[in-house]
Amino acid sequence: MTIEYLKKAGRTSQTDTAETRATVEKLLAEIEAGGDEAARRIAIALDRYDGSIVLGRDEIEAAAAKVPAKLKDDIRFAHDNVRRFAERQMQSLSDFEYELSPGFVAGQKSIPCRAAGCYVPGGRYSHVASAIMTVTTAQVAGCDNITVCSPPRPEIGINPAIVFTADLCGADRILALGGVQGVAALAFGLFGAPPADIIVGPGNQFVAEAKRILFGRVGIDMFAGPTDSLILADASADAEIVAADLVGQAEHGYNSPVWLVTDSRDLAERVLAIVPGLIADLPDANRTSAAAAWRDYAEVILCGSREEMATVSDDEAPEHLTVQAQDLDWWRDRLKCYGSLFLGEETTVAYGDKASGTNHVLPTSGAARYTGGLSVHKYLKIVTWQQATRAASKDVAIATARISRLEGMEGHARTADIRLRKYFPGENFDLSAAGDS
Ligand SMILES: NC(=O)C1=CN([C@@H]2O[C@H](COP(=O)(O)OP(=O)(O)OC[C@H]3O[C@@H](n4cnc5c(N)ncnc54)[C@H](O)[C@@H]3O)[C@@H](O)[C@H]2O)C=CC1
Ligand SMILES: O=C(O)[C@@H](O)CS(=O)(=O)O
Ligand SMILES: [Zn+2]
């Protein structure tokens, strides 16, 4: 490899993880011991919010009344796209039964988790689209009970558009709780909510760590923490658009990595020259986040070939991966590690983030090495079953008895023996593990 870093990051998604873990463990222990009251106390301390936590129907209607009609239409448009894509995903998985031998049938079926907990982030920005992504997929998957948690703003509560959206998409209950206290409320079943079987949704490092620690006790979709994005671009790319896309992603937060990987030094240098001006031109809060992310987490990597670019990208396993290069089919076939792929200049990460229909809850911090993003499949338990005639069970019983004895599991072996004696009286079987080798 002949890669050259034209800009190297001083920090990565693994920086400060021990400190985050210690903070989250302490908060979870406090909430588990103290229940509703502890969660409320932490919400007051961290989010300066002392209003109602479980939103009543009147509060939901009041929030909906505050959302402009045009925005409601946009939310319905995005919801419709996400719902139709999720329905198509449901169709991609079908139950089946298979006759392994005459009379011995095994099958696979999918069963939705009963209670889903959806976390909708809202600390820095008001992530209305995350409510669409999480609640809609839970609803299409067939979860019976959907609880939403989202952080309240001081004095105000949850952003009204998030409340409207969660309700539109099918939430059964909405809790004004953010961060660790929100995730804990979903997991432990606080404020009258059923304990979640699965918790889904993105969030900052505290939210992602809380889900990670609770995993096992409760299911989670994946590690979906601070957003990251990588752009693969060759000499044919438009430097202005590449720079705008990098800055658009850096605004997510001070700890959002962005990478440009290219085989064109000229493109890289032009992008490096354009980015600072685009960041400076953002509104205050967005500028602060993007400037810090660009300074501390951004990288510009020059490669010798497109194969080398693909390898660098797969090693990063970015959440969002954009290709602005020639021969898009080659890239789609070659790339292996990403949460969601955006091919060509005519689409962009923000389309997927807000409205195009694919899910924006995606693996971060390299988790795309082993998982895709949120889909209806994350809520489904793929289970198996089997059923047999007595005649069909004979060969399986003999093999089971012998393998069990070889393993030293005599009790298992005898569950097969007893059936063979009952179903085939008078027949003799060699059920010992020993025999010709
Ligand atoms: N991976 C994905 O698919 C997506 C990721 N995101 C990410 O979600 C994140 C959203 O973050 P935020 O705006 O912060 O909203 P958030 O809702 O995730 O977090 C806000 C909560 O963090 C808690 N918190 C803040 N500082 C804390 C501290 N020092 N100790 C303990 N708790 C603390 C507060 O209780 C607050 O309620 C961003 O990093 C964004 O990139 C957003 C959408 C999709
Ligand atoms: O990580 C993500 O998918 C986010 O970019 C989604 S959003 O733009 O913050 O809604
Ligand atoms: Zn985004």
In the chain, how long is the greatest CA-to-CA distance? 89
Determine, yes or no, domain membership for 190: yes
Q: Same domain for 253 and 348?
A: yes
Q: Does one domain contain both 32 and 171?
A: yes
| CATH number of the domain enclosing 161 | 3.40.50.1980
The catalytic position among 61, 320, 346, 427 is: 320
pLDDT digits (tens, 9 = 90+) for 79-136: 999 999 999 999 999 999 999 999 999 999 999 999 999 999 999 999 999 999 999 9
Which atom number of ligand 2 is nearest to the Cα of residue 252? Answer: 9
Q: Which of 318, 342, 372 finishes a domain?
A: 372
Q: Which residues line ligand 2 (CB under 6 A)?
A: 127, 129-130, 202, 227, 252, 319, 353, 360, 362
Residues, beta carbon < 5 Å, ion ligand 3: 353
Rounded distance from Cα 147 to ligand 2 centre (Å):
21
Residue 106 inside a domain? The answer is: yes
Residue closest by Cα to atom 11 of ligand 1: 204
Task: Give the residue among 155, 191, 127, 132 at the shortest CA–CA distance from 44.
Answer: 155
- Phi, psi angle pair for 112, to nearest 5°: -70, 145
288 in any annotated domain: yes
Whether residues 183 and 302 fall in one domain = no
Residue 12: inside a domain, yes or no? no
List the pLDDT tens digit at each of the 437 positions of the chain: 689 999 999 998 888 899 999 999 999 999 999 999 999 999 999 999 999 999 999 999 999 999 999 999 999 999 999 999 999 999 999 999 999 999 999 999 999 999 999 999 999 999 999 999 999 999 999 999 999 999 999 989 999 999 999 999 999 999 999 999 999 999 999 999 999 999 999 999 999 999 999 999 999 999 999 999 999 999 999 999 999 999 999 999 999 999 999 999 999 999 999 999 999 999 999 999 999 999 999 999 999 999 999 999 999 999 999 999 999 999 999 999 999 999 999 999 999 999 999 999 999 999 999 999 999 999 999 999 999 999 999 999 999 999 999 999 999 999 999 999 999 999 999 999 886 65
**In this structure, is residue 332 part of a structural domain?**
yes
Contacts of residue 380, defined as CB under 8 A and 6 or more positions apart, other chains included, come to 93, 110, 111, 112, 113, 141
**One domain for residues 191 and 313:** no
Given 322, 341, 372, the domain boundary residue is 372
Residues 25, 140: one domain?
yes
SS3 state of residue 431: coil
Claim to verify: residue 118 and residue 196 sit in the same structural domain: yes
In a domain, 215, yes or no: yes
Catalytic residue status for 320 = yes
65 and 195 share one domain:
yes
CB contact at 8 A, 20 and 128: no
Same domain assignment for residues 54 and 189: yes
Choosing from 229, 289, 320, 353 the residue with most ligand 2 atoms within 8 A of its CB, the one to mutate for a pocket test is 353
The answer on 401 and 343 residing in a single domain is: no
Is the same domain home to 232 and 216?
no
How many domains would you assign to the chain?
3
For 324-391, give the DSSP string: ESS-HHHHHHH----SEEEESTTS-HHHHHHTSSS------TTGGGT-----GGGGEEEEEEEEE-HH
pTM, to two decimals? 0.96
Cβ atoms of 182 and 150 closer than 8 Å: yes
Asked if residue 158 belongs to a domain, the reply is: yes
Nearest to 255 by CA among 124, 98, 64, 403: 124
Same domain flag for 189 and 103: yes
Look up the domain containing 326 and give its range. 226-372
Domain assignment of residue 6, yes or no: no
Cβ atoms within 10 Å of 133's Cβ, excluding its own: 30
Q: Tell me, yes or no, whether 255 and 399 share the same domain.
A: no
